[in-house]
Structure 1
Amino acid sequence: MTTLVSFVRGASRVLFLFALGLGVGLVQSSAAQSSPVPEEAIVEKIADGFQFTEGPIWYQGTLLFSDIPANTVYQWTPGDSSRVFLKPSGHANGLAVSPEGRLLLAQHDGQVGQLGPESMVQPLAQSYQGKRLNSPNDLTVADDGTIYFTDPPYGVEDENRELDFSGVYRLNPDGSLSLLTKEFSRPNGIVLSPDESTLYVNDTDGNVIRAYNVTENGGVANGRVFATMQGDAPGNADGMKVDARGNLYTTGPGGIWVYAPSGDRLDRIPVPKAPTNVAFGGPERKTLYITAQSSVYRIPVTVPGQE
């Protein structure tokens, strides 16, 4: 069932209210005139009752999202309820779509996979230099089919861990796997800028967003801190997406933080529960979907999403 919750948003001051069970969210803006979130935007709960939602993606006119502990990918259709799309899912977390329209999964069970015929998941990457990947967490795809993904140890027991670092990888169209960096403690969300010149990666430890220049051969250079999110409210640097203008939407303390490509913060969208990931969807990709613990929310935006 869909629950509508309205809020009032002022240009110079913020009224922030959570209604128990409903979740009234006020968008807090530091640059309202340039924010891609409408002044009177409504945070709307569209699904509830899950264990831990993650990895939303707009796929063939519907929203897919993961429930990691339930080992399930669910499908939500506008005007309808959620249903099981894939079970077992390999404890899938992040989801993406290849240039050919195939569903890609970052699976905590230790691989990056691709959904094939009869709902069978075909492995694309399972190991690096002969050692098992930790637990692929999130992924983003370039126009040529190159997959970039993060590999923290959230989904693997210490005794089963074979890699002693948490890497960020590039999976090339020919199937070869390259390590881009292992400087992260807990690499998490990952996304390319619209022109694919910049790769953003969230590090959950410290709530830091890092940015890299993408080189001609698909590698990365000039690693730098893009932004650091601070706050005591629940939520961490987790999932992220970009819109067509290159604005970055990322989970963080208290909700969704929105940054311009320059690194200036444009907005913060409070969410009733600690958010885990985001995705753009709808006919024009002008709806931002938010997974948050046991629930899924949405809010309209004025700039279409890139993915």
Structure 2
Amino acid sequence: MKPFSPSLLLFCSALILLTLLSCTQEFDPTAGEPEVVTEGFQFTEGPYWHSDGYLLFSDIPANRIYKWTPGNPESEVFLEPSGNSNGIDARPDGTLLLAQHAGMVSEVTDSLTTTPIASEYNGMRLNSPNDLTVRSDGLIYFTDPTFGVSDEEQELDFAGVYRINSDGSVELLYDRFRLPNGIAFSPDESYLYINDSDTGQILRFEVLDNGNIENPEPFANVGALAEMGGSDGMVTDTDGRLYTTGPNGLIIYDRDRNVIKRIPFDHQITNLAWGGDELRELYVTSPSAIYRIPMNTQGW
């Protein structure tokens, strides 16, 4: 039997090493750096990519929703007043939904007026609906912290996570957060992620077929609320990675809770949304500007 030559052994060793390195390197979901696409706002939140090819986002203190179209550095007013809207999402049929700091969740009519679909729980005023997400069967889940309600107006002595059922009833799902904020489904809707801005904790709940949630387990903690913000908006991609804002910028986790990447910002960021062609862009809201990040992965 002819022995291996030294050069062949060296080649084989190098090939094995490269294979091992490629297996251990984490996939980078980002394909570029954040860039500002539109700016000049008071405090933006709740980005939502419309299927017609534009981005909607809230400016909470301005009491407006803006519309930004790619290629245009300026944004136009889409809805005013907005009820101091924060989170924006849509029913499966495309009807827009707003979480409003004015104390309600509303839908947007074809004539661009708002109609409340939830404003109280057990006869008491909701605090300050903050963010919302919609399951594929139309069930609406929203968080209700106390950010936008005065002491005089507050009637509930807790901050809850709720579901709006198909019959319009409002059901409390969880009441152990201090300041529940961001909320997002896993791509297969088997899990629901909810975070607490006060503590920075992200919990992952199992979602049952009937829409109930159970077995909350700690998923991650991004740090307590600070001058640079806190745990706020969240999204997931088609591979199940979780993207969240935090007091130190954007943090990306894999499904096993490992941090894949951190993207620092020199100011607070507030929320996230997938957009662009094939949902391969990540939009990031901050108090005064909207950022776009090209991605190597896809939203849903």
Contact 2:118–2:164 (Cα < 8 Å) also in 1: yes
Aligned equivalents of 1:183, 1:211: Cα separation in 2:
14
User: How does the TM-score come out when normalised to structure 2?
Assistant: 0.89
Aligned equivalents of 2:259, 2:26: Cα separation in 1:
12
Matched, 1:266 2:260: yes
Runs of 4+ in 1 over 4 A off after TM superposition: none
Aligned equivalents of 2:25, 2:68: Cα separation in 1:
31
Aligned equivalents of 1:273, 1:114: Cα separation in 2:
32
Matched, 1:291 2:285: yes
Residue equivalent to 1:277: 271
Aligned equivalents of 2:25, 2:81: Cα separation in 1:
43
Residue equivalent to 1:303: 297
Contact 2:201–2:223 (Cα < 8 Å) also in 1: no
Q: 1:177-212, CA deviations, whole angstroms, 9 ceiling, x for partnerless residues? A: 110010000000101111111010010012111111
Gaps of at least 5 residues in structure 1 are 1-30
Number of residue pairs matched?
Answer: 274
Deviates further, 179-188 or 255-264: 255-264
Q: Residues 131, 230 of structure 1: CA spacing in aligned structure 2 closer, same or farther, 3 A cutoff?
A: closer
Q: 1:209-260, CA deviations, whole angstroms, 9 ceiling, x for partnerless residues? A: 1111012221111111110114888231001111111111100122111111
Larger Rg: 2
Residue equivalent to 1:75: 67
The amino acid that maps onto 1:61 is G
Aligned equivalents of 1:129, 1:94: Cα separation in 2:
23
Question: Given the alignment, which residue of 44, 65, 72 partners 2:35?
Answer: 44
Question: Given the alignment, which residue of 53, 63, 79 partners 1:61?
Answer: 53
Gaps of at least 5 residues in structure 2 are 1-23
The amino acid that maps onto 2:49 is W
Residue equivalent to 2:160: 167
Residue equivalent to 2:135: 142
The amino acid that maps onto 1:112 is V
Q: 1:34-79, CA deviations, whole angstroms, 9 ceiling, x for partnerless residues? A: 22113xx121011111100000010121001100000000000001
Deviates further, 232-241 or 43-52: 232-241
Matched, 1:215 2:208: yes
Question: Given the alignment, which residue of 97, 105, 124 partners 2:90?
Answer: 97
Tell me the CA shift for residue 271 of structure 1.
2.3
Tell me the CA shift for residue 272 of structure 1.
3.3
Matched, 1:112 2:105: yes
User: How does the TM-score come out when normalised to structure 1?
Assistant: 0.87
Q: 1:251-295, CA deviations, whole angstroms, 9 ceiling, x for partnerless residues? A: 012211111111111111122321000001001101000001111
- Percent identity reads 51
